[in-house]
Amino acid sequence: MELRQLTYFEAVARHASFTRAAQELRIAQPAVSAQVRRLESELGTPLLQRTTRRVTLTEAGELVLQRTRRVLGELADVRSDLADLADVLRGRVRVGATLVLGPLDLPAELAAFRSRYPGVTLALRSGLVADLLRALDAGELDVVVGPAYPHLPKQFLARPRMAERVVLVAPPRSGLPPRVRLADLRERAFVSLETGSGLRSILDDACARAGFGARVDFETHSPASIRELVSAGLGVALLADSAARAAGAPVEIHHLDPEPPYPPIALIRRRGRQLAPAARAFARHLATAMTASYRAE
């Protein structure tokens, strides 16, 4: 039994005609007839009932047609997967990432993906999530890894999610207790990201619920620089726990009572936009890594 025999038989059954099947296949009709007869001979049973006007399936033909379509469908999937693999091996992935990624070790995952697909070009852009989402929306990035705030616009799809929490960071030897009420810090100077950032919104909302407006004496551009300013004694700050515990300038870490909510870390895509094979492979790789990192916590 040959693959072309199955292909010819499926076309004849679908068109109920040798003539139309031959036209679709761009093969002479006698060749189609000969291959179908050879298939029937090998199977030892008629598959088609032939009349001068049309062709119909026998009971055996119905059974063979079901199996034939399954085989041809699997073969089409194999060809598609091989084409995708070829595209992955020579593709390009543009990744946007915030500096706060919870337990995810993004450099290690980039290295692991590069080791598996050495021909793929990886481009990484770091920044605030709002800027990265604008780049994602404009088609300048394929995926973004960062906090998925509750007000995430509907054109974006976020998954999977890793939990993160907010802590208070203070200068060394601050004298603050391990658990701090935000209302007790109304006279303190704060350090934060600029207005419009997600972290600044968390600070403003939490202080408003505590009955005061935060006095932000220093605005900066990154969680690392927040730590440096706090460590130098220029104020206290709200920060993601993973950023507070990362390597950097020494700070004290205090839990907040109540603890403000912090959005989960997610893999964010543009809804309705199909990823290229290389980007799709990277998204699958990172989703697996994020799930594993979350379970390890």
Q: What is the DSSP string of 148-181?
A: --TT--TTEEEEEEE---EEEEE-TT----SEE-
User: CB-based burial of residue 297 (10 Å sphere; 0-12 exposed, 13-18 middle, 19+ buried)?
Assistant: exposed
Indicate whether 212 and 247 sit together in one domain.
Answer: yes
Tell me, what's the pLDDT at 295?
A: 45
Instruction: Give the model's pLDDT for residue 233.
Output: 96
Q: Give how many domains the chain has, as a whole number.
A: 3
pLDDT at 99: 82
Tell me: do 171 and 251 sit in the same domain.
yes
pLDDT at position 297: 47
Dihedral over Cα of 108, 113, 119, 123: its sign? negative
Task: Output the CA torsion 219→225→231→237 (10° steps).
Answer: 50
pLDDT for the residue numbered 189: 96
pLDDT of residue 83: 66
Same domain for 228 and 270: no
What is the pLDDT at residue 210?
Answer: 94
Reported as a single tens digit per residue, the pLDDT across 37-81 is 988 888 889 889 887 778 889 889 899 889 888 888 888 777 776
Range of the domain at 235: 166-256
Q: Are 131 and 271 contained in the same domain?
A: yes
Residues 232 and 280 in one domain: no
Q: Whose CA is closest to 265, among 31, 105, 121? A: 105
Cα 226 from Cα 232, distance rounded (Å): 10
Q: What is the pTM of this model?
A: 0.64
Same domain, 119 and 94: yes
Q: Give yes or no: residues 275 and 159 share one domain.
A: yes
Burial class (CB in 10 A: 0-12, 13-18, 19+), 164: buried
pLDDT in tens, 146-183: 999 888 899 999 987 788 899 999 999 999 999 999 99
| Separation of alpha carbons 219 and 189, rounded Å | 11
On whether both 147 and 191 belong to a single domain, the answer is: no
Distance CA 40, CA 89 (A): 42
Task: Provide the CATH number for the domain around residue 79.
Answer: 1.10.10.10
Residue carrying structure tokens 């079901």: 66
Residues 133 and 12 in one domain: no
Same domain membership, residue 180 and residue 141: no
Q: What CATH number corresponds to the domain at position 105? A: 3.40.190.10
How confident is the model at residue 196, as a pLDDT? 81
Which residues does the chain have with pLDDT short of 50? 294-297
| SS3 call for 135 | helix
- Residue 209's pLDDT is 94
Of the candidates 60, 83, 106, which is a domain's last residue? 83
Shared domain for 71 and 12, answered yes or no, is yes
Instruction: Examine the domain organization and report whether 279 and 145 are in the same domain.
Output: yes
How far apart CA 52 and CA 50 sit, in angstroms, is 7
Tell me how crowded residue 9 is: count the other CB atoms within 10 A of its CB: 23
Q: Of 65, 83, 101, which residue sits at a domain end?
A: 83
- Structure token pair of residue 96: 């946007």
Residue 120: CB atoms within 10 Å: 20
Where among 31, 61, 83 does a domain terminate?
83
Tokens representing residue 125 in the block: 């852009």
